[in-house]
Structure 1
Amino acid sequence: MTFTQELWASAEEVYAEILAHPFLRGLTDGSLPRPAFRHFVQQDSHYLRDYARALAVCAAKAPTDADVRAFADDAVGAIAAEQGMHAEFTAELGEGPEQPVLPTTLAYTSYLLATVYSGSFAEGLAAVLPCYWIYARVGEALLEKSSPDPLYARWIAAYGAEEFQGVVRRVLDLADRIGPELSDSERARAARHFATTARYEWMFWDAAWRGEAWPVPTAD
């Protein structure tokens, strides 16, 4: 079993639950309420700022110069996505109340940053990988159906596009390149991180679907 096969096996059931989630079903049939999508876009903007930082740490620990450049480029790309695609979506959705960083987003990004800073490169890679890989798989799966809603169709097309799929294949190839060098214990830790952040991916969509808010008022 390759390293990526081992990682995917640790989260295959989670991925099935993601595809079945009403948020994603609502994207493809056009029934997703706009407030749920606005919630997702706002929290994704918060998320991507810290995800870019996590990718930058992966770049610092990467094994080759080419890998350093690739992760650094991906970190820049995450910020560009936040500023570009999200600004476009926000303009079309209309101005809504600005959300603070909400519980699921904060938990997810805190876990990511703790893992990439304290763990090995392989552990950090495994932690950031579900955001690449699950979005690519979701984009690919939803692209055939697309959506009758043009806004949702654009979101689906962005992640189903060959350009994004190629980026993800590059990261998967890197994972399989380093996999044979890892000890059994490090592979097991990496699989646990991958499974955990895959669950956070499900939780992120679910938080938008539920309209998650802090259970008690915050100072800000």
Structure 2
Amino acid sequence: MFSEELREEAAALWQASFDHDFIQELVAGTLDEQGFRYYLLQDCYYLIHFSEAHGLLAAKTADEEIRASQLALQKGMEEGEIAVRERYFKWLGITKEEYQKTVVAPSAYEYVNHLYRQLATGTVGTSLAALLPCYWLYLEIGQRFSQVASPNPLYQDWINTYDSPEFAESTRQQISLLNQLSELADEDERLAMKEAFLISSQYELAFWEMSYTRETWQFEALN
């Protein structure tokens, strides 16, 4: 299946995510909480736009199944994922004012722009392919590490979020839709879908590095 082909193509990038110091230290409970705090602030920005991207994808397609699924996922993101981040903000004492003053890091900014570019200039298939790694990679992180039991309860709670039947079903649904669209696509579009998927996979890896190093812009105005 096309999704299996994409997963194989992305294998090295995804393994680098699993092996990244951010993930390994998070699982071990040794990750500096300031790094995780930075991740949450940047991820909140990303998730707001990720949710919006589902609504834009729904508006982009004439397929009723895809439209309904993306609107449902958008609603779920708003009620679930972002709500979870708000809970973690409270856990770490992150205030609304702190979030509002947070400068969006280069990698988070670029990843979101990649999603919007696909929605603006790509097809329904390339747009969905760009969204899929965020689901699928996080599901695999949850499945790989939920039983390891991080000694930091905050980190274990975060890992468990991505090893739930509900999240697995959302991911399965997106994979199924991707496979359906690939069957209708010509070779050029399938190549574009693969490229969109791999670019998102690389940005997922960049997100860990961004959070681990607390990436900043290389000019003073925003830092």
What residue is the counterpart of 2:43 in the other structure? 44
Q: SS state of the match for residue 84, structure 1?
A: helix
Matched, 1:23 2:22: yes
Aligned counterparts, 1:135-174, within 5 A? 135-174=138-177
Unaligned runs of 5+ in 2: none
Aligned counterparts, 1:31-180, within 5 A? 31-81=30-80, 83-95=82-94, 97-98=98-99, 99-180=102-183
Contact 1:136–1:159 (8 Å) recurs in 2? yes
Contact 2:103–2:222 (8 Å) recurs in 1? no
Contact 1:45–1:82 (8 Å) recurs in 2? no
Give the C-alpha shift of residue 91 in structure 1.
1.1
Alpha-carbon distance between aligned partners in 2 of 1:194 and 1:10, rounded to the nearest angstrom: 10
Q: SS state of the match for residue 58, structure 2?
A: helix
Q: 1:83 to 1:51 in 2, by over 3 A?
A: closer
Contact 1:53–1:75 (8 Å) recurs in 2? yes
Alpha-carbon distance between aligned partners in 2 of 1:28 and 1:92, rounded to the nearest angstrom: 18
- 1:169-202 deviation digits (Å, cap 9, x = unpaired): 1111111122211111110111011101100000
Over the matched positions of the two proteins, sequence identity in percent amounts to 27
Q: SS state of the match for residue 146, structure 1?
A: coil
Matched, 1:216 2:215: no
Letter in 2 for 1:23: F
Letter in 2 for 1:74: L
TM-score using structure 2 length: 0.93
Alpha-carbon distance between aligned partners in 2 of 1:95 and 1:194, rounded to the nearest angstrom: 32
Give the C-alpha shift of residue 32 in structure 1.
0.7
What residue is the counterpart of 1:198 in the other structure? 201
Contact 1:116–1:127 (8 Å) recurs in 2? no
- 1:95-150 deviation digits (Å, cap 9, x = unpaired): 37542211111011011101112111001011111111111111111112131111
- 1:48-77 deviation digits (Å, cap 9, x = unpaired): 111112111221233532321110121222
Q: 1:173 to 1:219 in 2, by over 3 A?
A: closer
Alpha-carbon distance between aligned partners in 2 of 1:205 and 1:182, rounded to the nearest angstrom: 32
Q: 1:63 to 1:137 in 2, by over 3 A?
A: farther
Q: 1:205 to 1:219 in 2, by over 3 A?
A: closer
Deviates more, 1:130-139 or 1:173-182: 173-182
Letter in 1 for 2:135: Y
Unaligned runs of 5+ in 1: none
TM-score using structure 1 length: 0.94
Q: SS state of the match for residue 217, structure 2?
A: coil
Letter in 1 for 2:116: L
Q: Kindly report the root-mean-square deviation, in angstroms, between the aligned alpha carbons of the 2 structures.
A: 1.6
Contact 2:48–2:82 (8 Å) recurs in 1? no
Contact 1:10–1:194 (8 Å) recurs in 2? no
